[in-house]
Amino acid sequence: MVVLRRGYSVPEHVSMFAVGAASLGAVYPAVLAHTGWPGLPCPLRTLTGVPCPFCGMTTATVALSHGEWGSAVAANPLVYLAALLVACTLPVLVARTVGLAGGPRPWPEAKRHQVRLAMAVVVALSWLFQLHRFGFI
Amino acid sequence: MAYAADSSAISPAAYANWGQRVGAYLIDYLPIFVLELIAIIFHNPIVFLLFALASLAWWIYNRCIQAGNTGQSLGKKTLHLRLLSEKTGEPIGAGMAFARDICHILDSLACYIGWLFPLWDAKRQTFADKIVGTVVVPE
């Protein structure tokens, strides 16, 4: 049986994940230093040498959570997009959680298509950035 | 209930969310983590091999046979979730459950981004779910 529950919107889900990732990012260097664990490598870069569009996100998240703005953007500028998303959706998320706002309403398909297209462009640009960062272009 | 016909007709809330799926996954792999931890503590190659075989047996039983035939691995059963075919709404069988877990390798390929797909996907599917045509739903 499928139970329909009040959910959160996609930006809110991504924001919740980003907040969790930033919290982990704050303690991540200490965990690595304490355990000697090298951290999670990108399998694509490990296997082929070619970075993926999301390479550097861990470094960028850790840098941003420690206030190292320049290091964050140098590793992956996508982290600023995630931070902007969190800043914009957090008030809505809090309002919804405490019951001040109702459930999210689905966007029209045309608008969702526009967002998907915009995200595809952002990911493509991020890949170009990473390819440049690792000396491929 | 089939889940494929019109994704806009079913709310994303009808599918298990990312947190629930991560929770189920962690429960599924907890016994393997414990076994490997014990093997590391023993620091004996025979014990390590035995525990590795036990881990493999657990994975086949839990993630392939149980999840494939009933839709519920230990983790999904604990969190009241079910793995189903998006076309038929029925459990997918042990073979497809095995294939799905193998496809999870692709979820990891680009910085593990495939594992995050349920955060924004309309059917809350991972990349592996899309390949084998499965959805995870709450009971």
Q: DSSP readout, A99-131?
A: TSS-PPPPPPHHHHHHHHHHHHHHHHHHHHHHH
**Which among A7, A42, A44 is the nearest to B12, CB-wise?**
A7
Q: Does B119 contact A4 at a Cβ distance shorter than 8 Å?
A: no
Q: Is the pLDDT of residue B7 over 60?
A: no
Q: What is the pTM of this model?
A: 0.86
Measured between CA atoms, the residue of chain B closest to residue A58 is B111
Alpha helices in chain B (DSSP H): 18-42, 45-59, 67-70, 74-78, 94-109, 127-132
pLDDT score for A5? 47
Lowest mean pLDDT among A24-38, B21-35, B108-122, B123-137: A24-38
**Which among A2, A10, A106 is the nearest to B120, CB-wise?**
A10
Residue B105's DSSP bridge partners are: none
pLDDT in tens, A62-72: 999 999 999 99
Measured between CA atoms, the residue of chain B closest to residue A51 is B110
Closest CA to B61 of B73, B78, B43: B73
**Which among A17, A42, A109 is the nearest to B111, CB-wise?**
A42
d(CA B85, CA B129): 9
Question: Across all residues in chain A, what is the average pLDDT?
Answer: 90
pLDDT score for A1? 42
Give the number of beta-carbon pairs within 8 Å between A and B: 55
Give domain limits for chain A: 10-133
Per CB-CB distance under 8 Å, the chain B contacts of A44 are 109-111
Read off the pLDDT of each residue in A108-123 and give the average, rounded to a whole number. Answer: 95
pLDDT in tens, B45-77: 899 899 999 999 999 999 999 999 999 999 999
Give domain limits for chain B: 15-138
Q: Does B113 contact A52 at a Cβ distance shorter than 8 Å?
A: yes
Question: Does the CB of B22 have a partner CB in chain A at under 8 Å?
Answer: no
Close Cβ partners of A67 (under 8 Å, ≥ 6 residues apart): none
Q: Is the pLDDT of residue A29 over 80?
A: yes
Residue A80: which pLDDT band, with cuts at 50, 70 and 90?
A: very high
Q: Does A2 contact B113 at a Cβ distance shorter than 8 Å?
A: no
